[in-house]
Amino acid sequence: MTRTETLLPDAPGLARAAQILRTGGLVAFPTETVYGLGGDARNSRAVAGIYEAKGRPRFNPLIVHVADLAMAETFAVFDSRARALAAAFWPGPLTLVLPLRPDTGLSPLVTAELDTVAIRVPAHPVAQALIRAFGGPLAAPSANPSGRVSPTRAEHVAQGLSGRIAAILDGGPCAVGVESTILGLVGEAKLLRPGGVAMEEIEARIGPVALHQPGEALTAPGQLASHYAPAAALSLNCGPEPDAVHLGFGPGAEGIVRVTLNLSPAGSLTEAAANLFHMLREADRLAGPKGRITAAPIPDHGIGRAINDRLARAAAPRPQDGSA
Ligand code: TXA
Ligand code: MG
């Protein structure tokens, strides 16, 4: 067991976090999507520590977080599509999977020895400040035990990883609330995971994007069926039911049953995404491990696509081993 320090995102807190990272330690930090579990992407001991702290299968590669496009270009080869998307959406919730440059010094554990690398420039000011204070690339998966609900608050990180990591930088709740969109740009453009940037917005810049086909080889383990699993059973596209905790959406969901958590009373998909993981945790706590959660239908466009993707995985039958 390690004693996990909670750090404020002020100058002393950031300096301490950077010092921990330089010695190969792990620091959870806020991004605009979810909290990440950061380690030096060039240090195999740090990266192995990330897999170990999460209990994550080794074959899952990690996203490299950098401060800006210039830093990203030292690790990955950008074509005109990648440049256009970086100009439009970075910093922000878009991860690009691109050809890896040779001899970049990245640990082979980060890319799981693939010849591609997933890279993103987070927009959160604390993530930006941390990368700059550390002065290098951070490998960072979501800061949760493998297969469980991703953390959107520092206390969620502490609940899952306290005693297993050196520190948590507390930057408050995450604004976007679902993970970044992952887009493969090796050959044809392919959506590997829907997320914070809507596919419609990407297609508006680079034209049609292929969807991952079920049964196709697994390229992003976020595609594993079961993920984000609550302990309670979750049913989708439901109305409220007696004895279930209901995750509602839109006006009028309150007061129908004993417990309703409304993802967005106003019917805003952006607000629903920001509330999703916290309310899923709350619903799980209220329902108890033998209980049930029902979730209202969510419109399947824009960031709603990412919400439905996460809900579908949370409701899927669970394998023995977890994923990201
Ligand atoms: O919003 C996010 O993306 C958050 C924050 C912390 O930045 N991070 C995150 O990381 O969700 P993680 O590790 O939970 O999910 C990363 C996904 C995995 O599904 C992984 O398989 C995929 O990225 N990935 C990483 N490298 C890849 C590669 N070279 N090719 C294809 N998929 C890759
Ligand atoms: Mg994850």
Residues 268-307: pLDDT tens digits? 999 999 999 999 999 999 999 899 999 999 999 999 999 9
Closest CA to ligand 1's atom 7:
36
pTM: 0.90
pLDDT confidence band for 322 (50 / 70 / 90): very low
- How many residues would you count in the chain? 324
The amino acid occupying position 17 is: A
Give the Cα separation of 315 and 205 in Å (integer): 33
Q: Which of 220, 216, 235 is nearest to 311 (CA)?
A: 235
Interstrand relation of 244-248 and 292-295 (parallel, antiparallel or unpaired) = parallel
Task: Identify the three-state secondary structure at position 161.
Answer: helix
Looking at the CA of 61, which ligand is closest? 1
User: Rounded CA gap, 120 and 65, in Å?
Assistant: 5
- Which DSSP symbol is given to 290? T
User: Residue 110: what pLDDT?
Assistant: 94
Q: Please provide the average confidence, as pLDDT, over all residues in the chain.
A: 92
Give, using CA atoms, the residue closest to atom 19 of ligand 1. 222
Model confidence at 122, pLDDT cuts 50, 70, 90, reads very high
Contact 141, 62 (CB under 8 A): yes
Identify the three-state secondary structure at position 277: helix
pLDDT beyond 90 at 145: yes
Q: Worst-scoring range by mean pLDDT, 40-49, 65-74, 136-145, 258-267?
A: 258-267
The pLDDT of residue 2? 83
The H or E element that residue 35 is part of is strand 35-40
In the block, tokens 């170990």 appear at: 52
The rounded Å distance from CA 62 to ligand 2 centre is 9
d(CA 187, CA 9): 40
* Confidence (pLDDT) at 62: 95
The reported pLDDT for the residue numbered 150 is: 95
Query: What is the mean predicted confidence (pLDDT) over 176-201?
Result: 96
pLDDT tens for 209-242 read 999 765 565 455 555 566 778 889 999 999 888 8
What pLDDT sits at residue 323?
A: 44
Beta bridge partners of 184: 97, 190
pLDDT digits (tens, 9 = 90+) for 95-108: 999 999 999 999 99
**What is the CB < 6 Å shell around ligand 1?**
31, 33-34, 36, 60-63, 93, 95, 97, 111, 114, 116-118, 140-142, 179-180, 182, 192, 219-222, 324
Burial of 231 from C-beta contacts in 10 A (0-12 / 13-18 / 19+): middle
Residues 6+ apart with CB under 8 A from 308: 298, 300
Q: Which residues pair with 292 in a beta bridge?
A: 233, 244
Q: How confident is the model at residue 175 (pLDDT cuts 50, 70, 90)?
A: very high
Average pLDDT over residues 240-262: 81
Is the pLDDT confidence value at 321 over 70?
no
Q: Is the pLDDT of residue 318 over 90?
A: no
Query: What is the model's pLDDT at position 29?
Result: 98
Q: What average pLDDT does the segment 47-74 reach? A: 92
**Rounded distance from Cα 306 to ligand 2 centre (Å):** 13
How confident is the model over 124-138, as a mean pLDDT?
98
- Give, for 18, the enclosing helix (H) or strand (E): helix 11-22
Instruction: Give the C-alpha separation, 256 to 249, whole Å.
Output: 13
Q: Determine which helix (DSSP H) or strand (DSSP E) holds 202, and give its type and residue range.
A: helix 199-206
